[in-house]
């Protein structure tokens, strides 16, 4: 039962826009056919559904004392990677993410490694053993909990959310994205990144 709830939350992020678009079309068609919808009601429906697939904004500090605010990164393709230092699969992703970051960063690709545990000091120590080329972000337990809930309740680590330009949620990846473990998934993942980067 718990696993089903987690899966439903993850699916909700990636399917929510499609669902609300469908509901909007059905409501608009049904109500228009009956002449029961007013222009102001139609405008209200559009208003409430237009940003449904936009990633929730957040600001966190990085280990180099920079502040990263998601809404300031609308020109980038962003991978938000929720991870923890104790998580083995999270550690396994780091080399592949480093490679992707170094290859595509100049084209506008950003990875935000959101550490769900640890302090600035403990994370700096971690990165001495596990070199991370991309920004490692941290925050208070309260801030991280809010971000987790805004993203549907991140309860399984790692979880990655791929955003296109304008912070549009493109795909959610529960679990590790590993080139050697699942080459097909990894190739699809890289394709999604490159496709998003090619959009103007």
User: Residue 1: exposed, middle, or buried by beta-carbon count in 10 A (0-12, 13-18, 19+)?
Assistant: exposed
pLDDT in tens, 160-190: 999 999 999 999 999 999 999 999 999 999 9
Cα separation, 200 vs 190, whole angstroms: 18
Closest CA to 79 of 93, 65, 64: 93
Q: pTM higher than 0.85 for the full model?
A: no
Cα–chain center distance at 108: 16
Binning pLDDT at 50, 70 and 90, where does residue 9 land?
A: very low
pLDDT in tens, 42-88: 787 777 777 778 999 999 999 999 999 999 999 999 999 999 999 99
Strands (E), 37-76: 59-62, 67-69
- Phi then psi for residue 66, to 5 deg, are -90, 160
């Amino acid at each position: 039962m718990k696993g089903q709830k987690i899966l439903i939350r993850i699916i909700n992020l990636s399917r929510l826009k499609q669902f609300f678009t469908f509901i909007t079309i059905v409501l608009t068609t049904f109500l228009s056919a009956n002449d029961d919808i007013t222009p102001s009601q139609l405008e209200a429906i559009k208003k409430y559904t237009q940003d449904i697939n936009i990633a929730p904004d957040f600001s966190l500090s990085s280990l180099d004392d920079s502040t990263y605010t998601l809404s300031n990164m609308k020109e980038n393709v962003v991978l938000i990677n929720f991870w923890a230092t104790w998580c083995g699969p999270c550690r396994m992703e780091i080399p592949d993410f480093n490679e992707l970051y170094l290859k595509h960063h100049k084209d506008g690709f950003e990875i935000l490694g959101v550490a769900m545990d640890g302090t600035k000091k403990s994370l700096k120590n971690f990165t001495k053993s596990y070199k991370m080329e991309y920004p490692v972000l941290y925050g208070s337990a309260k801030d991280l909990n809010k971000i987790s809930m805004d993203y549907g309740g991140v309860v399984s680590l790692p979880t990655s959310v791929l955003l296109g330009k304008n912070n549009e949620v493109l795909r959610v990846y529960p679990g590790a994205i590993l080139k050697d473990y699942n080459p097909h998934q990894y190739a699809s993942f890289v394709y999604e990144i490159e496709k998003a980067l090619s959009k103007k």
